[in-house]
Structure 1
Amino acid sequence: MRLILARHPKPVVEAGVCYGRLDLDCDVREVDAALACLMPYASGAVVYTSPARRCRDLALRLDPAARIEPRLQELDFGAWEGVRWDAIAQSDFNAWANGLPYTTPPGGEALAAMAARLSDWLADVSRDYAAAEREASDESGGRPAPAVLAITHAGPIRVLRALAEGMPLLTHFAQPVPYGEAIALDMAKLGL
């Protein structure tokens, strides 16, 4: 299975603001730029999307039949949502960061909990893909099933990469994930 993970376009939000589940819009120009980048990946792919507007709006333009998948949502930062990072008490931030992946922001979600829901999604998609591939092979004499394109967020992309590669959750945590760009994973080569 070819899994393509794409981050939503840059949202309309002040720099330095914490957002995970905060439902933000994207500038139309940012969406258009992401469309141009992602259209080749969407052709023939099964498209899944986080329900967040910044993902969903792009996904539905790529494929009106895109599947809205709540498990692809970003980490819930709880009470920190919409707050400037520099306004969060340093001691609170440090307690969260030093306890990753098991600590939560106040009222939020632990990275380990996000990883569990993403692992469930990945298992479901892999199972569905394997069934579709068997069916396509039977009907067409070997034509592979389509790729899977997930329009999601930086956090889930980092976690899904770690899960797919069998690496610790924090492996890709500090790596940048550009807005509106895609990362392709060949799940068969990764043993999945």
Structure 2
Amino acid sequence: MDIFLIRHTTPAITYGTCYGFADLDLAPTFTAEATRVQEILPGKNFTVFASPLQRCSKLAHFLFGGTFQTDERLKEVNFGDWEMKPWDNIPETTAQDWMADYLHRPMPNGESYTQLYNRSIAAFREIIASGQDTAIVTHGGVIRSILAYASNTPIEASYKIRVEYGRVAHLHLNGKGLEVKGVNL
């Protein structure tokens, strides 16, 4: 079974803005970035899942037409009260308190990284249980979580996994388990 994790293309947002659950549109580079992703994917039939946020569902529609399912658990981390605020406007002590234990401490009215990880992996396990070749169009945090899970990387080290906009990670599932075949393709 092949699984392709596809990160949405560049969002239309000012650099330095905190976002996760916000339903952002995509930058004008969407078509060029989406075409590049399309050229990477093998020409086979996939079962397709996507985050319901438009930056993912638009890419899923571009790549696979209307044949995909959305799953709320594939959304990016919920930054709560920090959503759509410039990082520079978040009080430094508040941000430092969160960073000191981002794994377990949720953002104000948001969620922790562990909560994102747990919901992402729960969705991923259900998705791969079908045994079908699968494409998942989602966000950086979800992809990092799945890649950490697949490679037995400790959750606290998963933020070091680089996941770029409009890029693909390829996993292969066989009788021995999950194998990471490539990242940022």
- Please say whether Structure 1 and Structure 2 have the same fold, judged by a TM-score greater than 0.5: yes
2:69 corresponds to 1:67 = yes
Q: What is the distance in 1 between the residues matched to 2:87 and 2:175?
A: 39
The Cα RMSD (Å) is: 1.7
Which residue of structure 2 lines up, in the alignment, with residue 124 of structure 1? 126
Structure 1 unmatched runs, 5+: 130-144
Is contact 1:38-1:181 (8 Å) kept? no
Letter in 2 for 1:185: L
CA 1:153/1:121 → structure 2, altered by over 3 Å: closer, same or farther? same
2:177 corresponds to 1:176 = no
Is contact 1:35-1:58 (8 Å) kept? no
The percentage of counterpart residues that share the same residue type is: 28
Structure 2 unmatched runs, 5+: 179-185
CA 1:190/1:22 → structure 2, altered by over 3 Å: closer, same or farther? farther
Q: Which moved more, 1:47-56 or 1:160-169?
A: 160-169
- The TM-score with structure 2 as length reference comes to 0.88
Q: What is the distance in 1 between the residues matched to 2:160 and 2:31?
A: 25
Q: Which has the higher helix share?
A: 1
Which residue of structure 1 lines up, in the alignment, with residue 37 of structure 2? 37
Aligned residue runs from structure 1 range 120-159, under 5 A: 120-129=122-131, 145=132, 147-159=133-145
Q: What is the distance in 1 between the residues matched to 2:175 and 2:141?
A: 23
Letter in 1 for 2:88: D
Q: Which has the higher strand share?
A: 2
Letter in 2 for 1:20: G
Q: Which moved more, 1:41-50 or 1:71-80?
A: 41-50
Q: What is the distance in 2 between the residues matched to 1:39 and 1:69?
A: 25
Shift of 1:28: 4.2
Which residue of structure 2 lines up, in the alignment, with residue 132 of structure 1? none
Which residue of structure 2 lines up, in the alignment, with residue 96 of structure 1? 98
Q: What is the distance in 2 between the residues matched to 1:96 and 1:188?
A: 38
Q: What is the distance in 2 between the residues matched to 1:42 and 1:154?
A: 22
Shift of 1:118: 1.2
Structure exhibiting the larger radius of gyration computed from Cα positions: 1
2:149 corresponds to 1:163 = yes
Which residue of structure 1 lines up, in the alignment, with residue 53 of structure 2? 52
Which residue of structure 1 lines up, in the alignment, with residue 110 of structure 2? 108
Q: Quick one: higher RCO (CA 8 Å, sep 6+), 1 or 2?
A: 1
Spell out, residue by residue over 1:28-86, the C-alpha distance to the aligned partner (whole angstroms, 9 max, x if none): 43244223323542631221110010000110121111111111100000000000111
Which residue of structure 1 lines up, in the alignment, with residue 8 of structure 2? 8
Is contact 1:7-1:180 (8 Å) kept? yes
Aligned residues: 176
Shift of 1:87: 1.2
Give every structure 1 segment of 4 or more consecutive aligned residues whose post-TM-superposition deviation is greater than 6 Å.
Answer: none
Is contact 1:11-1:26 (8 Å) kept? yes
- The TM-score with structure 1 as length reference comes to 0.85
